[in-house]
Amino acid sequence: MEPPPILPKPALSLKRKGRKKYFIIASVFLGLVAWATVASLKKNEPAVNVQTEKVARHSITETVIANGKIYPVKQVHISPEVSGEITELNVKEGQFVHKGDLLLKIKPEFYKASLNQAEANYQSSLAGKTTSAANLEKAEAEFKRNKELFGQKLLPESEYISFKVANDVARAQVQSSIHQVEVAKANVDSAQDSLDKTTILAPMDGTITKLNSQAGERVLGTVQNAGTDIMVISDLSAIEARVDIGESDIVNLQPGQKAKMEVDSFKDRKFSGIVTDVANSSEGLDARSALSGNSSSQQSATLFQVRILFQEVENFRPGMSVTATVETRTRTNTISVPIAAVTARNLKNKKEGDTNSVTGSETNLVVSEVKKHDGKSVENRNKPTEVVFVLDGEKVKAVPVKLGISDDTYYEVTDGLKEGDEIVTGNLNAITRTLEDGKKIKKTPGGKDKDSEEGKMK
């Protein structure tokens, strides 16, 4: 049998190879065209108008601002220790009084009667003491006489014991009468004290800043109750502001720090002050609320009271509103940048440990995968970072910075910049939105420009 003839390969396979080569060439050509187009567009990308300045050293003072009220450093609330009707009121609100001046009198008749009764009981106890002493003298004489008879066997033992007991009882009665006299004398002193307390004198020099009661009103004493707050005497020669500070700032406050205070009633004036006291516990925190864990107190803001002594005294009145600016920390001759120059970006470095260069394509990177690195996730390492844009020729470089304290104008920079670096300080829209690492910029004179105005409007 003859072998089958070998047939030639079909021309179709040659056509397929030609098409494949054509597609490869076309893809490469299109890729080159796209690359050239992107490069051309990037080259022709318009520069962003910015203002710049060089990093310099400044002195920065960090402040904490808080609101509060004005109070006298020393004030006394006058409440009676005895109850009754006010029969005489010798002062009025706003009056200045000296220590020992008569403030008011409470109806004394009831307390006079109590004193008379106590004195009568005292006299009665003195008489009882005298009677007890006489009975003791008689009992001792009878006991002595009968003791001799008992020694001579002329008195039965039972009678002897009766005289002995009578003598002991008489002696005890004398001791009891002595104590009764002491009790009666104490009652007299107490009644006299209550009567004296119906007259109330000024405990200090000061001004009547509040008067809550009038003559003819009945007031409640403080012996077993809270008592009626009749008036308040204040020493207006020393005034302080009591302001509330949040828990995030209270750790930076301490006695001796300087403060500037503005009082609403004295416009366009600032008063100097010194911090005299910083609360150790928050307002509204007591043992009962701490043990019960009161939810209402937990939901409210945690505030601490700070007292600031005014260095200049004006015609202040208790209760006036005040705004205090306390100087907490100061840095002298430190590297700093304008607040407007600092912004936040989501950055990822090209190399681990490289914190000074970030490509534009890596700016605003969203990380979807969580990978562990040195105990921290990639997501945590790519959270918004505080950066400053530093000039690099005609472009800018996003440089992460570590910030310290700040005032109304500058941030302290503790790491990331050096003195003399030229940084972008305007415009606002470029810093907060437009600028990226490697972005082309154009320096313009300082002041308002179109982009800056648009950024503010946005």
Share of the chain above pLDDT 90, in %: 56
pLDDT value at residue 149: 85
Per-residue pLDDT reduced to its tens digit, 271-292: 999 999 999 998 876 545 544 5
Identify which has the larger pLDDT, 347 or 401: 401
pLDDT value at residue 284: 72
Q: Are 208 and 233 in contact (CB under 8 A)?
A: yes
Rounded to an integer, the average pLDDT of 310-327 is: 92
Q: Are 114 and 194 in contact (CB under 8 A)?
A: yes
Beta strands (DSSP E) in 83-230 are 84-89, 96-97, 102-106, 199-201, 206-211, 218-219
Q: Are 180 and 97 in contact (CB under 8 A)?
A: no
Residue 362: is its pLDDT beyond 50? no
C-alpha–C-alpha distance, residues 421 and 44, integer Å: 27
Using pLDDT thresholds of 50, 70 and 90, give the confidence band for residue 297: very low
Lowest mean pLDDT among 51-60, 340-349, 448-457: 448-457
CA distances from 143 to 131, 161, 173 (A): 18, 9, 16
Share of the chain above pLDDT 70, in %: 78
Neighbours of 139 (CB within 10 A): 21
Residue 2: is its pLDDT beyond 60? no
- β-bridge mates for residue 210, sequence order: 232
Lowest mean pLDDT among 97-111, 245-259, 294-308, 438-452: 438-452
Rounded to an integer, the average pLDDT of 326-337 is: 93
Q: Which residues contact 129 (CB under 8 A, 6 or more apart)?
A: 174, 177, 178, 180, 181
